[in-house]
Chain A
Amino acid sequence: MPYDPADRSLTDFIAEAEELLESLEQDILTLGEGAAVGELSGEVLNRIFRAAHTLKGVSGMYGFERMTRLSHLMEEAFDSLRMDRLAYSPSLRNALLETCQVLREVIRQRAEDAADLQAGFERCQAALDACVHAPAAAAPAPPPAAAPPAAPARAGGGEDVVIDPEILKVLTEYEEHVLRKNIKSGRALYKVHCGFSLDTFDKGLEKVTEQLKGVSEVISVLPSTSSGDESALEFDILIATDREPDTLLDNVEPGCRLDEFLVKRPPKTPPPPAAPAAKGGPPAPVEDSVEARTQASTIRSASETVRVDIKKLDNLMNIVGEMILFKTMLNQAGGELAARLGAKAIPPSFMKANKELERRLKDLQNRMMEVRLVPLSQGFSRLQREIRKLRDQLGKQIEVRLEGEDTQLDKLLVEELVDPLMHLVRNAVDHGIRTIGTVLLKASQVGNHVAVEVTDDGVGIDPARVLATAVGRKLPYAEEMKGELDRQLEALEPGQAREDVRTRFLRERKQDIFGFLFQPGFSTKTEVTTVSGRGVGLDVVKTKIAGLSGHVDVRSEIGKGTTFLITLPITLAIIQVLLVQVGEQQFAIPLASVLETRELGRRDISTIEQREVMQLRDRTLPLVRVRRFFGLNSTRPERQFVVVVGYGEKKMGLVVDELVGQQDVVIKSLGRLLRGVRGFAGAADLGSRTILVLDVGHIISSAHRM
C-alpha cells in the first residue's frame, strides 16, 4: 500500500472523495432528467466536469491508479458532453453510475487492489471507453443527423461575425464552444463591464454573476483590459441572451455597464428552434490537456466549509451532555442551600449567573445538534439511484418522486436510515408496483420528530393473505386471530353474508394483521412472493428503526398502494425522558412517546382474555407491568402509576411504582455485544448512576403479541 491507514490526510481524502462521488452521482441523475427533455444544463455539466477532474487529481495524489484512470475517463466523458461531441445515452449513464459505484467500493475498502474489484474496473473502463471513444458513427446518433456541420475553418458561426482574436485567445475551448453555440442560435452577445473595490471584489463579482445568470448565459468572466482606476478591479462578463438590452441590467447591481459585443442580433434570422444537444464535428479538436484548459475555471473555488469527523462531534456532544448534568447538580445544590439558610442567603448574582449559564448551555446544545444535521437528500439520492437501477433491471416504468428532501436529520441517523429505507424501496419497486407506477419518498418534520414515508401506488397488501401466511408460519397470536374470525363466521346471523363478515373483520383488524409483517419469520428470502412478496425482512427494518428510537408503521389499500411510515427523533444525542421507579431500579421513558400519566386505581383494571387492560375515557388500553415485563423481583407497592405511551394508534399503559421526574439525558447505545437484549433503547448517564431507557416501540409490539 502506498498509504498508511493511520494517515490523517488519507482520512481527508476518503471524506473528499466520498463527497465528490456523492455529487457526481447526483449530477449524473440530474443530467439524465435533462436529457429526457432534450436539454443538458450547462451549469450542471460544468460542475460535474470539475468534480470528475478534482477526483482525478486527488486520487492521483494518493496513488490510487485505477481510480485515477476511471475518473479521467469520466472527466473525458463530461468534457465531450459539454462540448456536444457526445450525446447523453442510457448506456453512458449506466456506465457512469457503475463507475461511481466501483469507486465507492474502493473508498470503502480504502484500497483498490482487492480481487473482487478488478472485474468492476475492467467493465467500467471498457464501458466508458466505448462511450467516449466510439467512432462517431457508432456513437448515439445526434437527433438531427442531417444538420449542416459547423464550418470549422471560419472564425464565427454567422455570416457577418468575426470574433476578436484577442478574446478568443483567453477563452477556454469550452467557453469558445458555448460562444459559438450562442451565436448560431441567434442570441445577442454583450460584455457587462463592472468594477469592484479590491477587498470585496470576490463577493461582488459572485453576486453580479449570479444575477446575470438569471437573465442570460454567462460565457466567461474576464479581467478587464481597459482598467483606469488603480484601487478597483474591473471585469468584463461575457454573456449571451435573448432579452432586450434596455431591461437587461434592471435587476443587477448598479454600476455595471452594458457593452455590445461584436455581434448584433441578426435582424431577420428566423428564430431557430433550440437545437437539441449534439452537433456534428467540433471545430478542430484540440489535443492539449484538459487541465490547461480548465485552470481558469477551477482556480476560484473558495470553500467555506470544514469537514469534521463525526466522532469529534460525538465527543463534544458528550461533554455538553455532561455539562448539563453538572448544571442540574448546581441547581439542586442552590435549592438545598436556599432551603437550609433561607432564600435571602443566596446572593442574587448566583441565581442570575445560574440562569444565564442554563440559557447558554441550552443554546450550545442546540447549536451542537444543528451542526450534526444534514439534509435527508444525502440519503435520498442513493435511494433514487437504487430505484432507477432496479426499475431498469425489471423493465418497469416507475417514476420516482422526492418530497421534503431538505428535511434535516442527524448525520448518523441519515446513514443508519439508508439501509432500512433501501429495503422498503426495493420491496415497493420489486413487488408493490406491477409494471407502471410511482414511488414517493417523502420526509417531513413534526415537532421533534422526522417522518419518512415510502409510498407506492401499486397493488397493495392483502390482509387476508397476510393472515393466512402468519397462520401458516405459526406466528404467535396468528392462530388466535384466525380463531376469532372463524368464530364470527360460525355465529353467522340469518341474512348475513359470509363474505361480508370476513371483509368487515379484515377491515377492522387490518392494522393488527399488518403487525405480522414485522414479525421475525413472517417471510424468508427464499419465499419472496407469498403476499405480493411484501414483508420480506421487514422485521429487520423494524429492529433497526427501533434501535434508532424510532417506529415504523404500514398503511395499505388493496389496489391503491402501500405506505411505510418511519418516525424518528431528529437527533439521537439528547432526549427528554420521564424517570420512573420500579422496585429498586429507575428507568427512563422517552418523553416523546409519553401521552399522559395518572394514578392507577384498582377499579380501572379489568381483564380481557387474561390480559390486563384499563379504561381510559372511551378507550381500552392494554396494560404492561414493567415489573413483570422485565421479571424484576420486588414487591409491588400499594400505590402505582400508569404512564400512557404510544405512537399513532398503538397506545398502552406502563405500570410503574413512582413517577420521579423529567430530565434531559444523553442516550448511549448498549453496544453490539448486547444487541440481543430487547426492551431497552439505550442507557443514559446521570452522573452518579446509569439508567436504562425503555424501548417503548418494542414493549408495545410485545404487548400486542402477548
Chain B
Amino acid sequence: MADTSLARKAGLGDTPPLAGGEHAFFTFWLEGEEYGLDLSLVREIVKIKEISVTPLPAAPPFIAGLLSLRGTVIPLVNLKLRLGLSSAPSLPLPEGGRIVVCSFREDAFGLVVDRVSGVVHVTNDRLEDPPEHMSPAQAEFIERIGKYDVRERHRVTEYVPGEGAPAGPESGPPAAAAGGRPSARRIVAILRAQKIVDFGFEEVEGG
C-alpha cells in the first residue's frame, strides 16, 4: 500500500471534515460487517421491493443492472461482488435489502446493501489506516477504519434528501434516543467511492 497517503489525500477531498475534526459517515451492513461512506455522497435510500432492475448485458458482473429513478437511469452496483464478499449472482436482488443512492462527482449510482445502519460521527483521532492483513482486493476499496460507540449512532431507516439533516426518525440527542443502550465499541470500514465507481473501462475500448 505504497500510495496510502496519496489516496488518503484524494479521499479527504471527498470527505470534508465537520467542525471539530469530525466526519459524518453513512453506514450499512454487508454480510454481517458494517461499512460506511461519506455522508455527503448519499442521496437517498430505496427499498428493493419497490423497484425493478433492468439487467445490463455486456457489463461487468458486479453491475447488477440499471435502476430508473425519476427520469434518470443509474447503474446499480452489487457491492458484495465488488468487494469480493460473495460470488452469488447479482439477480434477483435480496428482497429485504436496500439501495443506497449516491452521487460522486455528479455521477449517480446505487449500491445494493443488506441493511441500512445509520449515521455516525467519528472524530479524526478515531480514524485509522486499514489493517495490514486485509486482502489486496479489499484494501483497494477501504480507505480507513472508523471507531465509534454504538450509542452515538443515529438510526436511519429512510432518508429522503431535502428533509433536513438525516438525524433519522428518532430525533433528539443520540444517547437519549438509544434509550439507555449499553455502550459498545464498533468499527466501520469506510469505503472509497472513487474506487467503487471506477468500473475499469478503458477510455476507448480496443479491438
Give A685 to B74 CA distance when docked, in angstroms: 12
Contacts of B52 in A (CB 8 A): 688-690
Contacts of B20 in A (CB 8 A): none
Per-position 1/0 for B68-97, Cβ under 8 A of A:
100111110000000000000000000000
Per-position 1/0 for A669-689, Cβ under 8 A of B:
111111111111011010011
Give A673 to B73 CA distance when docked, in angstroms: 11
Closest residue of chain A to B106 (Cβ to Cβ) is A672
Contact of B68 among A673, A678, A683 (CB under 8 A): A683
Contacts of B58 in A (CB 8 A): 630-631, 677-680
Closest residue of chain B to A319 (Cβ to Cβ) is B71
Judging by beta carbons under 8 Å apart, are B68 and A690 in contact?
yes
Within 8 A of B (CB), among A582-610: 585
Q: How close is A523's CB to chain B, nearest CB, in angstroms?
A: 13
Closest residue of chain B to A322 (Cβ to Cβ) is B71
Give A475 to B207 CA distance when docked, in angstroms: 7
Contacts of A672 in B (CB 8 A): 107
Closest residue of chain A to B200 (Cβ to Cβ) is A676
Judging by beta carbons under 8 Å apart, are B202 and A676 in contact?
yes
Judging by beta carbons under 8 Å apart, are A668 and B205 in contact?
no
Q: How close is B192's CB to chain A, nearest CB, in angstroms?
A: 15
Within 8 A of A (CB), among B175-207: 197, 199-202, 204-207
Give A322 to B71 CA distance when docked, in angstroms: 9
Q: How close is B41's CB to chain A, nearest CB, in angstroms?
A: 14
Give A676 to B207 CA distance when docked, in angstroms: 13
Contacts of B171 in A (CB 8 A): none
Check if B57 is an interface residue, CB within 8 A of chain A: yes
Contacts of B199 in A (CB 8 A): 673-674, 676
Give A345 to B86 CA distance when docked, in angstroms: 56
Judging by beta carbons under 8 Å apart, are A520 and B207 in contact?
yes
Closest residue of chain B to A686 (Cβ to Cβ) is B68
How many residues does chain B have at the interface if contact means C-beta atoms less than 8 Å apart?
28
Contact of A683 among B54, B57, B107 (CB under 8 A): B54
Closest residue of chain A to B206 (Cβ to Cβ) is A520
Give A690 to B58 CA distance when docked, in angstroms: 17
Judging by beta carbons under 8 Å apart, are A668 and B75 in contact?
no
Check if B35 is an interface residue, CB within 8 A of chain A: no
Judging by beta carbons under 8 Å apart, are B72 and A674 in contact?
no
The CB with the most chain B CB atoms within 10 A, among A519, A676, A678, is that of A676
Contacts of B204 in A (CB 8 A): 520, 539-540, 543
Q: How close is B203's CB to chain A, nearest CB, in angstroms?
A: 8
Q: How close is A640's CB to chain B, nearest CB, in angstroms?
A: 18
The CB with the most chain A CB atoms within 10 A, among B58, B63, B107, B202, is that of B58
Judging by beta carbons under 8 Å apart, are B72 and A668 in contact?
yes
Contacts of B66 in A (CB 8 A): 670, 683, 690, 692
Judging by beta carbons under 8 Å apart, are B57 and A671 in contact?
no
Contacts of B197 in A (CB 8 A): 673
Q: How close is B77's CB to chain A, nearest CB, in angstroms?
A: 9
- Write the residues of chain B forming the contact surface with A, with a CB cutoff of 8 angstroms: 52, 54-59, 63, 66-68, 71-75, 107-109, 197, 199-202, 204-207
Given contacts A676-B205, A688-B52, 5 further A-B contacts (CB under 8 A): A673-B197, A674-B56, A677-B59, A690-B67, A690-B73
User: 5 smallest A-B Cβ distances: which pairs?
Assistant: A676-B201, A630-B57, A690-B68, A683-B73, A690-B54
**What are 14 residue pairs bridging A and B, where the CB atoms are less than 8 Å apart in the complex?**
A475-B207, A520-B206, A520-B207, A585-B54, A671-B74, A671-B108, A674-B59, A676-B205, A677-B58, A677-B201, A680-B56, A683-B68, A685-B71, A690-B67
